[in-house]
Chain A
Amino acid sequence: MLTIAFYYLKQTFRSRTVLAFAIFMPLLFTAVLGVAMKGLGPDEAPPRWVLLLADEDRSLWSEALIAQLENEPHLQLQRVSADEVSARVAAGEAAAGLLIPPGFSAALEADQPASLHFYYYIPQALDAQVLSQTVQTALTSLEGALGARAMAAQVLETLGLPAATWPSDQVIADWETERRLEVRSESLTRLAETRIPIGAAHASPGMLVMFVLFMTLGGGSSLLQEREQGTLRRLLVMPLSKWALLGGKLLGIYCSALLQMVIMVLFGRYVLHVNWGQDPIALVLLLLTYAFASAALGMMLAALVRTAAQLSNLSTLVVLALAALGGAWWPIEIVPLWMKNLAQFLPTYWGMQGFEDLIVRGLGLPQILPEAAALMAFGLLFLGVGVWRFRFE
């Protein structure tokens, strides 16, 4: 079995085609997608969203709003003219822009509705939503100061007492100095450095999860090729049971997947500076179980189709669909609920969850055991079906 596995490995990694598609291509995809999704390299500043800002009012209240926005760590304000806001957002130069029109302050002082215009670039709706939420939080603060004053006036009126006046600058100062609630947000990770997995930290495990499947399904296809060429039958004349032969081939596919994964992890770690976690044993366990589930899937598909050509065409659909649905291409949190539920029936989902536990949450062996167990279960199921249905001739 070991000899068969060794020869499979040798044959596989001697092929220029395999080297191109199983090694070069995944590394290229990881690097390009990591850059395109931002976040490559450890020294990059945390993501800040650019907000174009035009203040046509230039008043106490507009300045108070801008001061609030300037305190937001996620925001980077860029002052522009009123005409530029919508034009530059429409051109996609920024995800969003805010226009404070003339009369903003006057309306607020007169207790009349004041307008604010928020423009966003539709193709970047997700970034714009974050910006919109942030600006609206700052507005709530402004409304808080105004509301406190209005409320106090109303209370005096209700109690039948003479009205009092509270100058705006005094209310703003009171609001800023006498805060009673402080909200602190902390990203819960055991790693020293917190990084949202939107760049290489997502692309590195994501592409690993996808390209390993190409490798193992390609392995399944090679089994069928050998059957079609009669090599399997010839090998059976050796003093070797057919299950030992199949086991050797599977072991070869499994080892080739592991080798590919190790190269991708090292590339992620040393070229893209992805922190692959602080528990090497947990990482090894996840790699072993994901490779097992993938190799078994290749075996099962090889058993379910008739020819290598069929599997070759089917594998593109299967791999791309499994990768996309399992969260290898984008964070699973953004997909609709039905896709999240569906993902839980796929090995790619459990692989991605396990890798994210290590890379982003900084968890260790005890915490990734459920993911490893799920991958083992998938592997055993796929292997069972594969062995049951595989025909040597």
Chain B
Amino acid sequence: MKALIIAWKDVVRRFRDPRALLFMLLTPLVIAFIMGAAFSGQENDNSPVYAIPLVVFNADEGDLSAEFLDIIANIEVKTLEGKQPLFVLQSVEDETLAREQVERGEASAALLLPANFSHALQAQDAPTARLQLLTDPTEAVAPLVAESVVRRVALHFESAALGARLVIGALAEQESAVLSSPTTIALAVSEAAAHEAGHARIQWQEDGLGAARELNLINYFMPSMAIFFLMFSVFSATRSILVEEKQGVFARLLTTPASRAEILAGKMGGALFGGWLQMAVLVLASTLLFNVCWGDPLAVALLTLVTVMAAAGLGGAIAAFARDDDQANLAGSLITLVFAVLGGNFIPLHNAPAWLDALSRLTLNRWALDAFSLLSFEGASLPDIGQHLLVLGGMSLAAFLVAWWGLGRRFAR
């Protein structure tokens, strides 16, 4: 009972402090929102890039290059802001100007159409026309999209050109009189090319796998930031044992009817209750504010329980062996940051090499984040995260035993 009173007093004090609330609640919500918003363009069927600035230098004076650019300018993609043009074209009169714009980062790419563009497609034995796409090296996605689109539109034009050549070959074989009427052939080719342009021969079926629900990356970053800031606040709570030791509060508490074990249990309990409350508020607030899907409520509750226990146990162990509260602060902050970067709190470690992946699994952050992701993205239930709960439970038990033994020794003196 006395332990509960001490724990409750610590929780109330922490949650009455506006600065602590800023750090425990507002900061993770704001940062998770920014992270989720940054990647929101990639969710569902949305194109992550659009309105790509494309500067064009057209040295060709034929009709086909104008038609080519017209097609590119009219491509639209689905985005968060509705249908948007994929490219924003800007014509320049000089190749150097086009280069300079890309170099300065004012355009993602420059498309240079050669003077023989139309001739290469129309004449029987014309040399190949070389289209150049100059891309901004600081961008990863837009240049690839631009290259892919330019290639595909070029292929459509080449297809029409080959079709025309096949026709002329057939007419020559048949020694047809139509050969003497190029206008008639051109009209027929143009009509057939227009028909072909809208004719898709291959049905492209895309299936997203690996997530049962819609991909909303805030569902990853919200648990991620919640765990990160949970560790800071829980470590701060366990460090308060050392602050009270330094200020003599602990010694004064020992003069009350409360035993040393009850006081320590109360302080550790305060860290636990505070952590659970913090996580509960973050889960509720993010659900209401950002529509974050945390998944099966029972599984989320249990996972939160063991995650906070593991963090509090670790905080207790740090407090048990630190020389003073300053050293505990330093060690706690270092462990929080190292665990966060190794555990995937800042960047998902899907592409990490095996050694980093293995190192990552030594952190409570990784196990908790993996389990939260399973619940959120895969719609997993309690049995699916059994292994994660066991590992986190094991970490909690080990950390609490070490903390209890260490704190007991420390305050026995």
Contact = CB atoms under 8 A, between A and B. Distances in A.
Contacts of A360: 137-138
B7 to A, nearest CB: 23
A145 B159 contact: yes
B160 A140 contact: no
A197 B139 CA distance: 8
Which of B145, B151, B342 counts the most A-chain CB atoms under 10 A from its CB?
Answer: B151
Interface string B204-218: 111111110001000
A227 interface: no
A373 interface: no
A145 B151 CA distance: 14
B196 A151 contact: yes
B334 A20 contact: yes
Given A119-B207, A336-B80, A147 B196 contact: yes
A35 B353 contact: yes
A186 B135 CA distance: 6
Given A133-B144, A148-B162, A337 B138 contact: no
A16 to B, nearest CB: 7
A148 B160 contact: yes
Contacts of B338: 25, 28
A203 to B, nearest CB: 9
A90 interface: yes
A329 B32 CA distance: 13
A33 B136 CA distance: 23
A130 interface: yes
B411 interface: no
Contacts of A37: 347, 351
Interface string B128-146: 1111111111111111110
A89 B19 contact: no
Given A122-B208, A180-B126, A188-B134, A324 B38 contact: yes
B302 interface: no
A349 to B, nearest CB: 12
Contact of A333 (B35, B142, B158, B330): B142
Contacts of A114: 201-203
Interface in B224-255: none
Given A124-B350, A180-B121, A186-B134, A152 B163 contact: yes
Nearest to B39: A334
A120 B206 contact: yes
B380 interface: no
Q: Among the interface residues A29, A333, A339, which one has the most CB atoms of the partner chain B within 10 A?
A: A333
A186 to B, nearest CB: 5
A371 B140 CA distance: 22
Contacts of B134: 185-186, 188
Contacts of A156: 167, 170
B138 A361 contact: yes
A357 B105 contact: yes
A19 B217 CA distance: 34
A325 to B, nearest CB: 6
Given A137-B148, A331-B138, A181 B132 contact: no
Contacts of B324: none
A78 interface: no
Given A313-B19, A313-B22, A333-B49, A178 B165 contact: yes
Interface residues of B, number: 118
B277 interface: no
A333 B146 CA distance: 14
A196 B139 CA distance: 7
A321 to B, nearest CB: 6
B330 A123 contact: no
B195 interface: yes
A333 B130 contact: no
B309 interface: no
A162 interface: yes
A interface secondary structure, majority: helix
Interface string A116-127: 111111111110
A7 interface: no
A133 B128 CA distance: 24
A108 B141 contact: no
Contacts of B199: 147, 150
B258 interface: no
B129 A187 contact: no
Interface in A121-149: 121-126, 129-130, 132-134, 136-137, 139-149
Interface residues of A, number: 112
B102 interface: yes
A363 interface: yes
Interface in A1-31: 16-17, 20-21, 25, 28-29
Contacts of A234: none
Contacts of B191: 154, 158
Interface string A287-320: 0000000000000000000000110011011001
B31 A183 contact: no
A331 B139 contact: yes
Contacts of A120: 206-209
Interface string A100-120: 000000001001011111111
A317 B22 contact: yes
A384 interface: no
Interface stretch (B89-97, B173-181, B264-272, B287-295): B173-181
A91 interface: yes
B34 interface: yes
A182 interface: yes
A117 B156 CA distance: 23
A190 B214 CA distance: 42
Nearest to B84: A337
B346 A148 contact: no
Contacts of A182: 128-131
A181 B159 contact: no
A147 B167 CA distance: 13
Nearest to B347: A36
Interface string A137-177: 10111111111111110111011011010100001001100
A155 B341 contact: no
A179 B128 contact: yes
A122 B140 contact: no
Interface of B: 19-20, 22-23, 26-27, 30-31, 34-35, 37-43, 47-49, 51, 80-81, 99, 102-105, 108, 110, 117, 120-121, 126, 128-145, 147-148, 150-152, 154-167, 170-171, 173-174, 176, 178, 184-185, 188-189, 191-193, 195-196, 199-211, 215, 326, 330, 333-334, 337-338, 341-342, 346-353, 356, 377
Interface of A: 16-17, 20-21, 25, 28-29, 32-33, 35-38, 74, 86, 89-92, 108, 111, 113-126, 129-130, 132-134, 136-137, 139-152, 154-156, 158-159, 161-162, 164, 166, 171, 174-175, 178-190, 194-198, 309-310, 313-314, 316-317, 320-321, 324-325, 329-331, 333-337, 339, 353, 356-357, 360-361, 363, 367
9 contacts: A37-B351, A89-B209, A150-B196, A151-B195, A181-B131, A184-B131, A324-B31, A337-B81, A367-B103
